[in-house]
Amino acid sequence: MIKFSPWLPDIASFNSAASMDVLNVVPSQTGFRPFPAFSGVTGAITARAQGAISVRGLQGTIYTFCGDATKLYKLDSDGLAWTDVSRLAGGAYSTAADSWWDFFIFGDVVIAQNGNDAPQIYQLDVSTNFAALGGTPPTASFGGVVRDFAILAKRNTAFNRLTWSAFADAEDWVASATTLSDAQDFYEGGQIMGFVGGEYGLVFLEKSIFRMAFEGPPTVFRFDKISNQLGCRAERSVAAYENLAFFLSDDGPYMIRGGSEIIAIGTEKVDKWIEDNLDASYLYRISSAIDPIRMCYIMGFASESATMGSPDTLLLYHWPTGQWSKVAVEHEIIYSGLTQSGYTIDGLDALSATIDGLPFPVDSRFYAGDGILLLAWFNTDHEQGFFTGTNLPATIETGDAQLIPGRKALLRALRPMVEGSNVTPSVAIKYRDRLQDNHTTGSPVATNANGICTFRHKARYHRAICTIPAAAAWTFATGVDDLRFSAMGKR
């Protein structure tokens, strides 16, 4: 058996312990699992999505907000349509094409900032529109919460400055030893590129990273540098889950564990592949999110073959195994979203007139109830939805294997090991006699009634390309087994 090993595009291809290419799959301990398709659920907003968040209010109600260049929106309670909840005074917003709306929740209010307009506030269960945040808050690009303080970072007048509010008061930003509000400038490391809050904060700069820890008066917060040269390359590559934080640096992706341990997660795996495939002209279109169901950090970006910088690739890091995969899907942004409401059988009429027309399979988590955390996105029609549809078409390509050491072999058959209730995989063989030669690729062969694919390919090196059709019902792909081959000459 040749296993479907981890995807390692950065290493030598003569290695049967590595997969050379994968598409539309999720890594697992024993091979790969399927990745589901997306269907738009909501109506469209009026322009390209530039940020979104889902939160639960103190009364238990789920809210989802998003923003484009000029407006802020709230998803209706049925989870199907957007309502414009932009400010009533001050005119349209001015979010730059290379900027984002950044949202965070502080108690029962959602605060939004875009680096250009005054920070906006929406009080859950009370407000009907966003309005300017009270006090004298700075205009900033990033926000979050550390302990009982609201944080605004990368001020529009000082890209290296972070400001925190008064204790437990997001509308008091006057520096005071009594209220504990103050600011911190970072004099090395460049501009702030991202922020993660929680029990402690992580401040990502271009060439350094700081941990922000509360220690009380008179300093209020202590800032410890945990990285002296390593920093964040792309602002929206930062995503966090529990005690893990992820980001893209100049030399590849990294993970921070526990606020101090920095781990290179792409070395000899995908660092070079990212550099070769990422269109660096559109770093500002990168978005990232955590998929808690599949335990993956996911970064969406525009590849070199993307159209006008429109993101077309998702890169998945499965942190339990340390393995990677990728998905090809055009999108505007991805984020961690919450389902807005549950559906009964009768309520499904709101989504489709027929069962066949439903956007997701009937056993999808989308219908289970409100507050289900799922990977969400906006498609290029500005519609929001979730990745819980039928399985995308999948491809897994092994590395080169020499079936008989020192000799050529005639490969006659193999069995793709794909588990599922309704799936017919196909296999094509790539083969060559020298590692310096280009591969010759045979035609795909579907499995027969016995689950076997038959060929006649004579060469020194062989690799298998297993393809699984769209909407097939499968659970695991683990490798190719029952290889049948005959020894040939040495030359």
Chunked mean pLDDT (size 10), the chain, 491 residues: 95 90 96 90 94 92 96 92 97 97 97 98 97 97 97 97 98 97 96 97 98 96 95 97 97 97 97 98 97 95 95 98 97 91 48 51 49 89 91 97 93 97 97 95 96 96 97 97 89 64
Task: Report the alpha-carbon distance of residue 18 to residue 401 in Å, rounded.
Answer: 10
119 is written with which tokens? Answer: 């920070």
Can the peptide bond before residue 320 be classed as cis, meaning omega within 30 degrees of 0? no
Is the pTM higher than 0.85?
yes
**Contact by Cβ (8 Å): 374, 444:** no
For 469, other C-beta atoms within 10 Å of its C-beta total 15
313 is written with which tokens? Answer: 């690739």
Q: How does DSSP classify residue 169?
A: B
Tell me what pLDDT residue 78 has.
Answer: 82
Tell me what pLDDT residue 172 has.
Answer: 98
131-138 contacts: CB < 8 A, separation 24 or more?
131/87, 131/88, 131/89, 132/87, 132/89, 132/90, 133/170, 133/171, 134/171, 135/165, 135/171, 135/172, 135/173, 135/174, 136/173, 136/174, 137/163, 137/165, 137/171, 137/173, 138/163, 138/173
Task: Report the alpha-carbon distance of residue 227 to residue 1 in Å, rounded.
Answer: 44
Which 3 state secondary structure label does DSSP give 128? coil
Residue with tokens 């209220």: 179
Tell me what pLDDT residue 1 has.
Answer: 87
Tell me what pLDDT residue 369 has.
Answer: 54
Tell me what pLDDT residue 370 has.
Answer: 61
Task: Report the alpha-carbon distance of residue 349 to residue 353 in Å, rounded.
Answer: 5
Residue with tokens 């030598």: 12
Domains of the chain plus CATH, in order, are: 2-24+392-487 (2.60.120), 39-386 (2.130.10.10)
Q: Which helix (H) or strand (E) holds 221?
A: strand 220-227
* Helices and strands, counts by H and E, the chain: 1, 40
Tell me what pLDDT residue 349 has.
Answer: 54
Instruction: Name the burial class of residue 390, with classes exposed (0-12), middle (13-18) and buried (19+) by CB atoms within 10 angstroms of its CB.
Output: middle
For 83, other C-beta atoms within 10 Å of its C-beta total 11
Q: How many CA atoms lie within 13 A of 67 on its CB side?
A: 29
Tell me what pLDDT residue 353 has.
Answer: 55
Q: Of 432, 396, 267, 393, whose CA–CA distance to 5 is shortest?
A: 396
